[in-house]
Amino acid sequence: MSRLLLLIVLTAQAAWGQHSFTVKPSRTIVPAGEPFEVEFIFSGASTGISSPRLEPLENIEVVGGPSSATNVSIVNGKMSSQASFSYVMRGVKQGPAKIGSAQVVYKGRSYATEALAITIAAPNSKQNSSAGEEVFIRVYADKTDAYVGEQIVLTYKLFFAARIAPPEIKELPQAKGFWSEDIDLPQQMVLRDEVIENRSYRSGVFRKVALFATTAGDLTVEPLRATVRVERREKRKGRSNDPFFGDPFFNFGTRMDEVEVSTRALTLKIRPLPQDQQPSSFTGAVGEYNLSAKLDRAQCQAHEAVTLLVQVRGEGNIKTLPAPQVSVPSDFESYDPKTGENIKRGPERVTGSKSFEYVLIPRAPGRQAIPEVRFSYFDPEKKRYVEQSAGPFVLDVSRGDGTRPADGAVPYAAKRNVETVGQDIAFVKTEIGERSSSASLPHQELWFWFGCGAPWAALAAVVVVRRKQETQGRSLSGRRRRALRRAQTELAEAVKLTDAGNQLDASRHAIIAVGHVLAEWTGLAAGGATTEQWQTEWRVRGHSESHWATMREILESSDRVRYAGAGAGEELRTKLAALKQALEQLEAGQ
């Protein structure tokens, strides 16, 4: 029995002494920025081992892991086992680095590795990640020397020599001093075969972006960082010449290791635009463009809106294209243009068009001329400025019926039609004229007593009217009834014109009808108040919110008819019916 106990103790001590924890790097000299693998191996057991606890790293960062694996082998009747923990690390900058001690716990006892020194060499002279890796990414610029505002396309390609999962972008590159537009790519990455430094890879473009520099100088695009899950085979450790255990069938499967990859920083030289021979119409557009412009019609009546549509089409930074130079004559009233964009991001570059829609209202009849529209841009391929023009445009304006839209606008005539008319001037009298005098005293005149009694009569009238209002309750005043009658007359005319297909005149009468009601119910003049002022005063006075909504819709529908033409006529017909019902409710005191 004593011999048996002694054998057990000796065996336990031998087993205890077989446990070890070591560190094994894939290489000890690594270029800055390139990933490398570090494996921590615990020998003597394959299970029951805690995850490693790493001391702070010096000049090194962890970019992937840990991924764990176990191995059990039997050689000449002896069984051995081990567990490994793999990390993917990367040197931060050139210089000495250190992987501190790592600790694990097994059956209550701690095991630690020795600290490991790593040398971080100068970055690889290649532009991107080393081609010796299983997976890496590179960035290609279609040009590295460009002008401010010129389009530069960056293409990010993924290279891999093992099975991988789709990459996940961890950190997008910072590009200070650039306006960027992502170029659309197919949802499925298109792959091709490439040979890099005598090694075959599969490659595919996973990101493409167009950059437009906003300032001159040497500008830097920071690295793009991504994570890729790489499939690695877990091989059984043992004698390599063993025909039985060396069979691939006994490889214990595969594992997916997460690896971080990144591009190099990219420096682009940006030149300022030349200052000589710069056209006066130049406002910053760079690229290659074509200008077109047209009026929606060649004839109209005075105070009737027309549309000038200007479009710039081409290749460049479409989103920030400035408006072309449009000179509006003094005989026209104009509004800020309405802009629209149609941008095509791909497949190779950013192209598209940008439109500017100007609403112009001629205020005087006659043959009116709109000067030509000018637009200039800098062509980086030709290295010169290009100026384009469209027009001029001629518009025949008839006098019409002499009425103006009831929108509160004040008409003005062309300067050539201004005339001085003598009857408009009140001349100074040059003679004193006849005088008359009266010897009667004031109290002897009738007007004296009338003036004394008028305030008392007015006070009595106020009392009578007040009492009458109290007895009538919510009945309308005479002024409001007259305003409603005028509004109903205009509404009836608007309905009649709508049925006849004349939506433009119908919209004018509809606006007048609403103006009568709003002026009386808010106390604001119809021609001198905005929609916001009417809305505020209407709500302050506590009037019905639904009636206000009806009248606001009339104003908006009428504006759409005036500027959009007959296409909005059916909408106006519906709103007029709602207005009629609202007027009836107001008349009933609701």
For the CA atoms of the chain, what is the radius of gyration? Answer: 44
Tokens describing residue 44: 């003597």
Instruction: Please measure the distance between the N-terminal and C-terminal CA atoms of the chain and give it in whole angstroms.
Output: 112
Asked whether 148 and 244 are in contact (CB, 8 A), the reply is no
| pLDDT for position 92 | 86
Q: How many CB atoms lie within 10 A of CB 550?
A: 19
Tell me, yes or no, if the two domains 18-121 and 288-398 fold the same way.
yes
| pLDDT for position 286 | 93
- Half-sphere exposure of residue 514: CA atoms within 13 angstroms, side-chain side: 32
Amino acid present at 97? A
Q: Which CATH number fits domain 18-121: 3.10.20.30, 1.10.357.10, 1.20.1300.10, 2.60.40.10?
A: 2.60.40.10
Distance between CA 60 and CA 50 in Å, rounded? 23
Domain boundaries, given as residue ranges, for the chain: 18-121, 135-270, 288-398, 478-587
* 395: nearest Cα among 420, 444, 358: 358
Asked whether 98 and 115 are in contact (CB, 8 A), the reply is yes
Strands 191-196 and 199-213: antiparallel
Asked whether 238 and 247 are in contact (CB, 8 A), the reply is no
The partner residues of 1 in beta bridges, in order of sequence, read none
Cβ-in-10-Å burial (0-12, 13-18, 19+) of 476 comes to middle
pTM of the model: 0.48
Tokens describing residue 513: 């009808």
Confirm or reject CATH 3.10.620.30 for domain 288-398, answering yes or no: no
457: phi then psi, degrees, rounded to nearest 5: -65, -40
| pLDDT for position 280 | 87
Which class in CATH covers the domain with range 478-587? mainly alpha
Tokens describing residue 52: 């490693």
Asked whether 200 and 185 are in contact (CB, 8 A), the reply is no
Amino acid present at 60? I
Expressed in percent and rounded to 5, the helix, strand and coil fractions of the chain are 25, 40, 35
Distance between CA 206 and CA 111 in Å, rounded? 44
Distance between CA 3 and CA 24 in Å, rounded? 41
Q: Which residues contact 500 (CB under 8 A, 6 or more apart)?
A: none
Q: Which residues contact 386 (CB under 8 A, 6 or more apart)?
A: 376, 377, 378, 379
**Cis bond leading into 392, ω under 30°?**
yes
- Half-sphere exposure of residue 370: CA atoms within 13 angstroms, side-chain side: 31
Amino acid present at 147? Y
Residue with token string 């005293």: 441
Amino acid present at 518? L
Tokens describing residue 97: 């680095």
- Listed in order, strand segments (DSSP E) in 281-372 are 282-295, 299-301, 306-316, 332-334, 338-345, 350-362, 366-370
Tokens describing residue 157: 């390609």
pLDDT of the chain, 590 residues: tens digit per residue: 555 554 444 444 444 447 888 998 888 888 887 778 888 998 888 788 888 888 888 999 887 778 888 877 776 667 778 888 888 888 888 889 999 899 989 988 999 998 989 888 887 644 444 555 788 999 999 888 999 999 999 999 999 988 888 888 888 888 888 988 999 888 888 888 888 877 888 899 989 999 999 899 999 999 998 888 888 776 555 444 554 444 545 545 677 888 888 888 889 999 999 988 888 889 889 999 999 999 998 889 888 889 999 999 999 999 888 888 888 888 888 888 899 999 998 788 899 999 999 999 888 888 888 999 999 999 999 899 999 999 899 999 998 765 555 444 444 433 333 444 444 555 566 666 666 555 567 777 777 888 888 888 888 888 888 777 665 544 456 788 888 888 889 888 888 888 888 887 888 888 888 888 888 888 877 666 777 778 888 888 888 888 888 888 888 877 777 665 545 567 778 888 888 888 888 887 76
| pLDDT for position 311 | 93
Asked whether 229 and 257 are in contact (CB, 8 A), the reply is yes
In 243-356, which ranges are continuous DSSP H helix?
Answer: none
